[in-house]
Amino acid sequence: MSPRVVTIKTSERVEAALRKMLKHKIGSIIAVEKGKAVGIITERDISIKVAKGQRLQGLVVKNVMSKPLITIAPTVDVWDAVEKMVRNDIRRLPVVFDRKLIGMVTERDILRWLLITAYEPHIPPDLKKLLETRAHAQSPAH
């Protein structure tokens, strides 16, 4: 799980969501309403709208986001998270504890976990350094 979760209000414009994605170098943002996570807006959601001829100018997050938001608890086993992602055809899984958004599991997080698990305890030094550097760069952001 990455503790780095960026949020945006459902009433904000899609352009603002895109700017946040670029700023944080991410492909999705959790949409919130009254402080509660209610959806997710991804680069793919936006691309689909544009491909269908929708103009982004003035378009709000609420009209583009995917909902309902599919989440998991922090106590869920990695394999259960993978299964949930496959069954729902999603690449990102917000982690919620006590109704509070605390993180996000992505395909990339699972790939890192698989690499570490597969190489334990003899992970190649260059791969270990890469994984540690990338994990360290993921600090909490809102």
Q: Determine, yes or no, domain membership for 60.
A: yes
Q: Determine, yes or no, domain membership for 51.
A: yes
- The CA-atom distances, in angstroms, between 30 and each of 5, 9, 16 are 7, 8, 13
Any idea what the Cα angle at residue 36 is, between residues 94 and 93, rounded to 5°?
10
What range does the domain containing 68 cover? 7-137
- The 10s digit of each residue's pLDDT in 4-21 is 899 999 999 999 999 999
Q: What is the pTM of this model?
A: 0.81
For 4, the token pair is 């780095």
Q: Determine, yes or no, domain membership for 59.
A: yes
For 95, list phi and psi in degrees, rounded to 5: -105, 125
Q: Determine, yes or no, domain membership for 37.
A: yes
Q: Determine, yes or no, domain membership for 1.
A: no
Q: Determine, yes or no, domain membership for 118.
A: yes
Mean pLDDT, rounded, for 59-78: 94
Number of domains into which the chain is organized = 1
**CATH number reported for the structural domain that contains residue 15 in this entry:** 3.10.580.10
Q: Determine, yes or no, domain membership for 98.
A: yes
